[in-house]
Amino acid sequence: MSFYVSFGTVLLLLAITAPVALGFGFAGAMAARSPVFPLNWIGRAYIAVVRGVPDIAFFLFFVIALDQGFEWLRHQVKCPDWDQPIRQGSDFIVCDAAKLPLNTSAQWIHETYGFLLAVLTFAIVFGAFAANVLFGAMRAVPRAQLETAEAYGMTGRQSFWRILVPQMWVYALPGLSNLWMVLIKATPLLFLLGVEDIVYWARELGGTKNPRFSDYPHGDWRMWYFLVLLVFYLGFTKVSEVVLDRLMKRLTHGQATAGGEMQRKAA
């Protein structure tokens, strides 16, 4: 049963991460574009740093780092009169009230917290990729469009939201759909972050079951479980491919690009 639920976990992760990462990406791209000095510097640094560091190392690093960061913040707020150092040798010690989640809380809160950390990690990493794509897309919108907007007397903010943003999606879509594919294929890494996902359950359930401990004894079936996962991901990729193709067709409709021109001629 948990095996089937864990498919839901993966889908849930995708459903939450994709919009959050897109939001991170949008914020990052806007920051990188902004004329204000420290803001554009921060945006560019975010994109460059996350994209430049080896992949899963980032996932492993971020989960612990975020966890310790949150606990440290809560420690500063909740226990101001704590005089011992936080790092004692190889231990990371905060006061009990600052533990996240609290020692007393239920098991499901611990699991949800772990899942949320994973989502945040995914969103930060993929947000940087999305920021890069969106940043490129914003620059790909023809200059003349923005100049026309200015000529009509729109303010910078108006031309950004009314002209630039609606038009950039068609330029961003190839990059974003690529990113979506990569995101799908990154979901098994949840296992490394300590979430009980499909990989975890495939290993657990597929392993040899002894008749003494289980009502349904069987040999080593892990191979078959992983074959199912393989097929699941293949199907998922195929479906996404088809859907994204359709979306691209709709978005290019009426655009001043080669694709839009081809559609116009075909019609």
Question: Applying CB under 8 A, does 170 fall inside the site for other proteins?
Answer: no
List 16, 42, 60, 251, residue binding other proteins (CB under 8 A): 60
Three-class DSSP category at 73: helix
> Residue 46 CB, nearest distance to other proteins (Å)?
14
Among 54-62, 75-83, 96-104, 165-173, which window interacts with other proteins (CB under 8 A)? 54-62
| Distance separating alpha carbons of residues 50 and 248, to the nearest angstrom | 28
> Residue 144 CB, nearest distance to other proteins (Å)?
26
Among 49-57, 145-153, 156-164, 251-259, which window interacts with other proteins (CB under 8 A)? 49-57
List 65, 140, 242, 256, residue binding other proteins (CB under 8 A): 65
List 97, 116, 230, 262, residue binding other proteins (CB under 8 A): 230
List 5, 55, 76, 102, residue binding other proteins (CB under 8 A): 55
> Taking CB under 8 A as the criterion, which residues in 236-265 touch other proteins?
237-238
Give CA 185 to chain center in angstroms.
Answer: 12
Question: Applying CB under 8 A, does 121 fall inside the site for other proteins?
Answer: no
List 35, 38, 54, 153, residue binding other proteins (CB under 8 A): 54
> Residue 211 CB, nearest distance to other proteins (Å)?
20
List 182, 243, 256, 262, residue binding other proteins (CB under 8 A): 182
Extract the tokens encoding 71: 């606990």
> Taking CB under 8 A as the criterion, which residues in 192-211 touch other proteins?
192, 199, 202-203, 206
| Distance separating alpha carbons of residues 124 and 62, to the nearest angstrom | 9
**Contact at 8 Å (CB) between 43 and 131?**
yes
| Distance separating alpha carbons of residues 36 and 38, to the nearest angstrom | 6
**Contact at 8 Å (CB) between 40 and 33?**
yes
Q: Which is nearer to other proteins, 113 or 160 (CB)?
A: 113
Extract the tokens encoding 51: 């994209």
**Contact at 8 Å (CB) between 146 and 163?**
yes
CA distance to 63, 70, 117, per residue, from 45 (Å): 20, 22, 22
DSSP state of 96: G
Selection from 140, 237, 139 nearest residue 183 by Cα: 237
Among 149-157, 159-167, 223-231, 243-251, which window interacts with other proteins (CB under 8 A)? 223-231
List 53, 73, 97, 256, residue binding other proteins (CB under 8 A): 53
Q: What DSSP string describes 135-201? A: HHHHHHS-HHHHHHHHHTT--HHHHIIIIIHHHHHHHHHHHHHHHHHHHHHHGGGGGGGT---HHHH
Q: Which is nearer to other proteins, 41 or 61 (CB)?
A: 61
* Interaction site with other proteins (CB under 8 A): 51-57, 60-61, 64-65, 68, 87, 90-92, 129, 182, 184-189, 191-192, 199, 202-203, 206, 220, 222-223, 226-227, 229-230, 233-234, 237-238
